[in-house]
Structure 1
Amino acid sequence: MASTALVWLRNDLRIADNPALVAGLAHGRVVALHVEATDETLRRRGSASRWWLNRSLRALAVDLADIGVRLVTAEGESEEIAFETLRAHGADALFWNRRYGPAEREIDAAIKLRGRSEGIAVESFPGSVLVEPFDIATGSGGPYSVFTPFWKTLRTRNIAAPRSAPSAAPPISPDAVDTGYRTPTWATKFDEHWQPGERAALARLHSFLEHQLAGYADQRDFPTHSVTSQLSPHLAFGEISPRQIWHSAQSVAHSRPEAAAAVDKFLSELAWRDFNYTQYFHRTDIANVPMQERFSRLSWREDDAALAAWKQGRTGFPIVDAGMRELWATGTMHNRVRMLVASLVCKNLLLDWRLGEQWFWDTLVDADPASNPGNWQWVAGSGLDASPFFRIFNPVTQGERFDADGRYVRRWVPELALLPNEWLHEPFEAPPAVLRAAGVDLEANYPAPIVDLKMSRERALEALKQL
């Protein structure tokens, strides 16, 4: 009787460069499993992530069927589902690619221990980072807390080459995948903007390297310049591996020397993701606990009305509102604008960064358990190698600098479309005649600012002094 392996897929929804899948196929017949885990210690996916997951799994089922592998989906406790599936398919081996959060590692360790005690061959592999968090350390042996030396070390590493997609015969007819994982109706509009799945991820990488890379280093901070890779949700779900991106980009640098600087900048951003994962691995739950302990004593304000206005893109600061509306419409937001909207929450409004992080977790299609809280803590000043708390982004001057012609604001805040550029980023300072001519009423169709920038900056700096 042929051996059967269960390959448990989590944040690695792809065929190529999937070490666990390769090991499973080498073992014998393979059944692939995806569990929407309900374990109390795990963070449940946000709404936008569930929208992406459902579509990604449907694409994955077709690709797996092409190599003779059937995909099984289930919702429940991780350990219970894993062993139920092992028994149901007579599997004698269980393989997965590693996860790095404290709660995830605890669950995986318990399953590995139980499986081996019951005679199941259980093995895990590296598959979702460039360098595993426990394999990169400072000279003293501890984890890096500053990105620049982390990046200098990582770029000297020999990053393992990605594995090609495995082949197996004969192919099978894929079952229709109906995960049953709940997706909110408001997220269905993302169909207009995204195509989940491994094939789409590889196509997006190729398009970026061919068409957008050249302008990446100089233009990536401008939200209307289409030079970013748009790979973050594909990475978050593992439809493409960081090793695939790394080696593809390095190949471009070797073949096109003039692109070397752009490649280096792009790969440093990929390395920032790894840096977040080292924090995720070495620290207590970073979605809830400040990485700098002193920030646990900061006196955050409570202002439900201001928080609601921020979520709705009704703060009175056009570039912030544009970003929040882009997020709601597309499930993503330009990276520069993410920093601006987060700064307004944490510093000008002095609201707990965890409130903003949770909203992003629910509405971002690229919500990542390490990068989402890691980046929020960076803006809030509480993270490792974070932006200092006293660095408070001014949404007016930032808008004037990075959206000087107003195309970004006019797209997402159309009620301001007729304002001249001079006043577009601060309509609250525009003369009444200018507002009337543009059809803008700061009480009726666009709000006045919900906070005074100068006063709130001073308030934030005073709160910092109290630490």
Structure 2
Amino acid sequence: MIEDFTASKMARDSDKPVLLWFRQDLRLADNPALCAAMASGQPVLPVYILDDETPGAWRTGGAARWWLHHSLAALSRDLDALSTPLVLRRGDSRQIIADLVSETGATAVYWNRCYEPFARKRDETIKAALKRDGIAARSFNSALLHEPWTVENKAGEPFRVYSAFWRACLAKDGPETPLPAPEALESAPAPQGDRLADWALLPTVPNWARSFETAWTPGEAGARDRLTGFLDAAVNRYKAERDRPDIEATSRLSPHLHFGEIGPRQIWHATQAAMAAGGASEASALKFLSEVGWREFAHHLLYHNDTLPDHPLRPEFADFPWHENGDALAAWQRGRTGFPIVDAGMRELWATGWMHNRVRMIVASFLVKDLLIPWQEGEAWFWDTLVDADLANNAASWQWVAGCGADAAPYFRIFNPVLQGEKFDPDGAYVRRWVPELAKMPASHIHKPWLAPDDVMRQAGVTLGETYPTPIVDHGTARDRALDAFSRIKKAA
């Protein structure tokens, strides 16, 4: 009798769906939650929830919403090719998951893990509620090479220094082989969902994201093409040229990684394969993978420090004498500081939703050290304007530049924007592209136009204070002011 009852129950459950909850894993290949749902033998019902309530202040920013729209459209097309609809719902994930289970009779909910503090708290609440109701709840790792709690120092504590953290990661067994995308999928009848267009994720009047369309191809296919193109063409230049914003030598995979259109295991194994085949030099390939390692480290820090996005990791910095300067902040945001490499970076960010990593460090140093504006202001601006806005990466990187985070840059390391421009944009090509009013300036003066002779300025058609702003701060004076503030913090620690 027991065997008959069990068989009968299994037969009934086999007709009921598994809810597959997509989040920051918008792909079909190497998707552990998808593979597990398929292995259950039950029909699969893919769902995406736009939850602006749970994240609070860290709801998806404007530029990332543009990317999310196109990424969801691409995922929906990929699922349609498998005759499986993607159900869209908007609201509090806790309530919507409960509603969907009730509407569909689902016996299980599967998802891939997120590591933001608010997401972990939400997921724990949902998992507990589902289990109380007899619903299976399973989560998986699709976003990291190693779970944050599995990498510890010899004392069994979280790492605070990147280099030691990455060595520990490399000493572990390599990541598992990526899972293939399904060739077929048994889908369940779909309940009513929202129309993607009704979410209004795209800007309209004005359409400030118009130029994004020529810069990016969101979606799993776009991510795959970008990785392949990088490994075929640019990877061997990566170590030598990755700091040159005037040269296409980086992968630009960061937004694809954030939205999970590609996973780090796929990047790891594809890069290893390129090395083994002789198509990628070991030095450049390993340097590239070490940047994937920095992303891992950022998630490691956030997992072990919930307040990382809001408060300095080093508590003595809570008393740092920051300056509130709305005019200077606005000039920085608009790319009107009078320092060409800074302005080029901020204008690239506005035009494309992305900025070269070396330039990110330059503009961040300028904000927090030349202007002494709190790093949280820069973090918030990047959050709203970056298509790759990632809570862990954004917070860890801003704290690194500000000197208040783990593995932080020494407080006395204050980037000189002129020297940085001359070193990493030696011909001025990057500045000319993004600051066209300086396009006719010779390379010898393009990074410091305020020092150019009058005849050079006339020939270039530049009038400081009119066609291009005068510097909003004297770097030498600002550097001394920052060093004094940082040294006082150091003495107080």
- Length-normalised TM-score, structure 1: 0.97
Q: State whether structure 2 residue 26 is matched by structure 1 residue 10.
A: no
| Bigger radius of gyration among the two | 2
Q: State whether structure 2 residue 182 is matched by structure 1 residue 163.
A: no
User: 1:181 Cα deviation (Å)?
Assistant: 4.3
User: 1:173 Cα deviation (Å)?
Assistant: 12
Secondary structure of the residue that 1:228 maps to in structure 2? coil
User: 1:258 Cα deviation (Å)?
Assistant: 6.1
Secondary structure of the residue that 1:437 maps to in structure 2? helix
Secondary structure of the residue that 2:445 maps to in structure 1? helix
User: 1:434 Cα deviation (Å)?
Assistant: 1.6
The alignment's C-alpha RMSD in Å is 1.7
Secondary structure of the residue that 1:382 maps to in structure 2? coil
AA matched with 2:183: S
User: Could you tell me which residue of structure 2 aligns to residue 33 of structure 1?
Assistant: 47
Spell out the pairing of 1:135-214 with structure 2 (5 A cutoff).
135-158=150-173, 159-169=175-185, 177-178=196-197, 180-184=199-203, 185-214=207-236
User: 1:75 Cα deviation (Å)?
Assistant: 1.6
Spell out the pairing of 1:49-448 with structure 2 (5 A cutoff).
49-158=64-173, 159-169=175-185, 177-178=196-197, 180-184=199-203, 185-256=207-278, 259-448=281-470
Contact 2:26 2:261 survives alignment (8 Å): yes
Structure 1 84/299 Cα, relative in aligned 2: closer, same or farther at 3 Å?
same
Contact 2:19 2:47 survives alignment (8 Å): yes
Q: Structure 1: where are the runs of 5+ without partners?
A: none
Moved over 3 A (4+): 169-179
Secondary structure of the residue that 1:96 maps to in structure 2? strand
Single out whichever of 117-126 and 59-68 deviates more from structure 2.
Answer: 59-68
String of CA shifts for 1:299-351, please: whole Å, max 9, x gaps.
11011111000111100000110001111101101110110000000000000
- Length-normalised TM-score, structure 2: 0.92
Structure 1 173/323 Cα, relative in aligned 2: closer, same or farther at 3 Å?
farther
Contact 1:222 1:336 survives alignment (8 Å): yes
Structure 1 394/173 Cα, relative in aligned 2: closer, same or farther at 3 Å?
farther
User: 1:183 Cα deviation (Å)?
Assistant: 2.7
CA distance in 2, matches of 1:118, 1:466: 57
Contact 2:38 2:185 survives alignment (8 Å): no
String of CA shifts for 1:61-99, please: whole Å, max 9, x gaps.
111222343211122111011111222222110011111
CA distance in 2, matches of 1:205, 1:412: 26
Q: Structure 2: where are the runs of 5+ without partners?
A: 1-11
Single out whichever of 3-12 and 430-439 deviates more from structure 2.
Answer: 430-439
Single out whichever of 255-264 and 165-174 deviates more from structure 2.
Answer: 165-174
Figure out how many residues of one structure are paired with residues of the other and give that number: 467
Percent identical across equivalent pairs? Answer: 47
Secondary structure of the residue that 1:34 maps to in structure 2? strand
Contact 1:299 1:463 survives alignment (8 Å): yes
AA matched with 1:32: P
